[in-house]
Amino acid sequence: MKDITRTAIGIIAVCIVLFGINKYLSQNSGNAGSDTVTIFNWGEYIDPDLITQFEEESGYRVVYETFDSNEAMMTKIEQGGTSYDIAVPSEYAIEKMKENDLLLEIDHSKIPNLSNIDPYFLDLAFDPKNKYSVPYFWGTVGVVFNPSLLDGQTFESWETLWDPSLKGKVLLVDGAREIIGMGLNSLGYSLNSTDEKELLEATAKLKKLTPNVKAIIGDEVTQLMVNEEAAVAVTFSGQAADMMWENESLDYAVPLEGSNLWFDNMVIPKTAANVEGAHEFINFMLGAEVAAQNTDYVGYSIPNAAAVELLDEEVTSDERFYPPVAARDHLEVYKNLGLEMLGKYNELFLEFKMSGN
Amino acid sequence: MQTKNTKTFYLIPYYVWIILFVIAPIGLIAYYSFFDLSGNFTLDNYFNFFTSVYLKLTLSSFWYAFLITFFTLVIAYPTAYLLTKTRHKQLWLLLIIIPSWINLLLKTYAFIGIFGLYGPVNAFLNVFGIGETQILFTDFSFVFVAVYIFIPFMILPIFNSLDKLNPSLVDASRDLGASSWTTFSKVILPLTINGVKAGIQAVFIPSLSLFMITRLIAGNKVITLGTAIEQQFLVTQNWGMGSTIAVFLIIFMVIIMIITGQRDKGATSIGKNK
């Protein structure tokens, strides 16, 4: 009994010490709000040198954390805990965060570099007048293909994917919105369709694609395409750029019937402890030279007109990644369809996946 | 009196653990399963489960879990039997168990390379003039990898029950004129059936909810209940439907536990009466 009492007291003592340390640490990071900027971004989505440069120029210390899906990011911000000063959600997630009152308004007077942004990317439907968000990168959904493994198909149309000669050669990204959207686009419907009949038609059409589908996967697509294990993949333009960087024989095309145009924007979440620093960081990232350097590193398409001027002509005139405005007409931005509709999309996607056997 | 107090004291961590990590989560799952997306009380999730998509999903989960368990058993029983006959059986057993200490995901990723178009398996097939074959992302690769991962969990209980088997019972059976097959079916198998049942439990139940392998090795062409739950929680954010599927999964597990439970107390006691 004596031993137990002693052990119990020991455990309690250790707990008190740990609790104290924990409190000290959290106080430190909480109070330090005024001299740190906490950034919450996608993995591999910024040039690390720029963080150092920002720290030197502004005197703030940067805490950098990454996430791998909009949903995970929103959950973490909703829970509080860490006081993120900057986050980089995609457009539909911004709509949702606005609805849930998770964002602070951005003070445009503190961001003079906003004038660098191509007006095409400002004042979009998901955030009128850019009250809550500032463009970071943008891109499309399209088809990456390896001409050396194909007989001349070029994917100007989604229809090409259904070509019987592509049996077992097509990889699809594991996303309900992307793949059901592709089915809708291939039939000439909007990828934001909420019409039951159109959705069912799209699913039926997708089921006919099954023999050609090799796999429906996530980030593994990159490695499989680079290693030439598959000939065709439906994926995001950014991922396509990564693959083409590693394997030069790959090519990318956005089918003409229509596809998705996506944006990742910087926002200031409600949890921000250093709103001033967050504005400074946004303004820094919008600077022409900084944005150009970041684009060189990340490889996605930059909405910053001043940075585009500085970038290699070869990069920015590549219409696969910087489609001219006229070609963007057939591209659509995802609308937040609501959880109910998202559930419907996922159920249909599940049905499509199961039609494989 | 003091010993009684001490006993209660020792039991506290156990109760706390059970309440926090077993009862509370199951309670929460059951609770969430009665709510729809907008937070209203509803039974719709349960009706929804009986629509074609989820029923088909359940059937296909069971079918693959059955295949995995079947092949694991077919490989594990003879292996366990041979193990009991070897001289350094603990060493051999250890060699079989060691791979199960390596993280499941790492092993799964290794198979992506092994089964790839330019992987060693295809290189081997090429030697025999069989051209490049698509192995990765097929039903075969899925069942193969799952069987590979589950084999130690099947071998261990069977090995234990075979090891405990009194060899004189086998000798007696042979002395009395029974054939090898009769000895196996009438003596060895009944005495080790509990090991087999424990093995089936350890393989069948986790097979129902496998989910990373379905994506990495089967390319999402095989969908299990586990995949569906993950989707509902992380993508659709429909916690109600996800919980409902989880509730059914728990029910299936309980049913399997009851079926494979150790009803036959007689056999164990005979085994122990050496």
Judge: A4–B112 Cβ closer than 8 Å, yes or no. Answer: no
Digit-coded pLDDT (tens) for A216-262: 988 889 989 999 999 999 999 888 988 998 999 999 999 989 999 99
Closest approach of chain B CAs to the CA of A83, in angstroms? Answer: 23
Asked whether A168 and A337 are in contact (CB, 8 A), the reply is no
Q: Each residue of B214-255: pLDDT tens digit?
A: 988 998 888 899 888 888 887 777 889 999 999 999 999 999
pLDDT bucket at A2, cuts 50 / 70 / 90: low
Widest CA span in chain A: 83
Q: B104: how many CB neighbours lie within 10 A of its CB?
A: 13
pLDDT confidence of A41, banded at 50, 70, 90?
Answer: very high
Strand ranges for chain A from DSSP E: 36-42, 61-67, 86-87, 133-145, 170-173, 213-217, 232-236, 251-253, 259-267, 331-332
In the A/B pair of chains, how many CB contacts fall below 8 A? 80
CA dist B249 → B131, B148, B252 (Å): 41, 23, 5
Between residues A6 and A244, the one the model is more confident about: A244
Helices of type H across B37-88 = 44-49, 52-85
What is the complex's ipTM, to 2 decimals? 0.82
Mean pLDDT is lowest, of A2-11, A93-102, A127-136, B76-85, for A2-11
Residue A141 near residue A181 (C-beta atoms within 8 A): yes
Interface test with B, best of A73, A217, A247 (most B CBs within 10 A): A217
pLDDT at A357: 57
Is the model's pLDDT at B137 over the cut of 60?
yes
Closest CB to A71: pick one of B215, B221, B235: B235
Give the tokens for residue B113.
């390379």
Residue B12 lies in a domain: no
Q: Can you give the residue ranges of every domain in chain A?
A: 34-137+263-316, 139-261+323-354
Say if residues B214 and B220 touch (Cβ distance below 8 Å).
yes
Q: What percent of chain B has pLDDT over 70?
A: 94
B223 touches chain A (CB under 8 A): yes
Terminal-to-terminal C-alpha distance of chain A: 63
State which residue of chain A sits closest to B223, comparing Cα positions: A354
Q: Is A107 helix (H, G, I), strand (E, B) or coil?
A: coil
Class of A139-261+323-354 in CATH = alpha beta
pLDDT digits (tens, 9 = 90+) for A175-218: 888 999 999 999 999 999 999 999 999 999 999 999 999 999 88
Select the residue of A1, A214, A227 nearest B6 (Cβ to Cβ).
Answer: A1
From A162's Cα to the closest Cα of chain B, the distance in A is 18
pLDDT band for position B212 (50/70/90)? confident
Residue range of the domain that includes B201: 50-272
- pLDDT for the residue numbered A343: 86
Fold of A34-137+263-316: D-Maltodextrin-Binding Protein; domain 2 (3.40.190)
Contact A221, A239 (CB under 8 A): yes
Q: Is residue B13 part of a domain?
A: no
Q: How many domains does chain B have?
A: 1
Residue B95 lies in a domain: yes
Alpha-carbon distance of B9 to B13, in angstroms, equals 8
Specify the residue for token string 């099947």. B154
The three-state secondary structure class of A65 is: strand
Contact B57 A354 (CB under 8 A): yes
Question: Which residues are within 8 A (CB) of B81 and not within 5 positions of it... i.e. 6 or more apart?
Answer: B162
| CATH code of the domain in which B82 resides | 1.10.3720.10
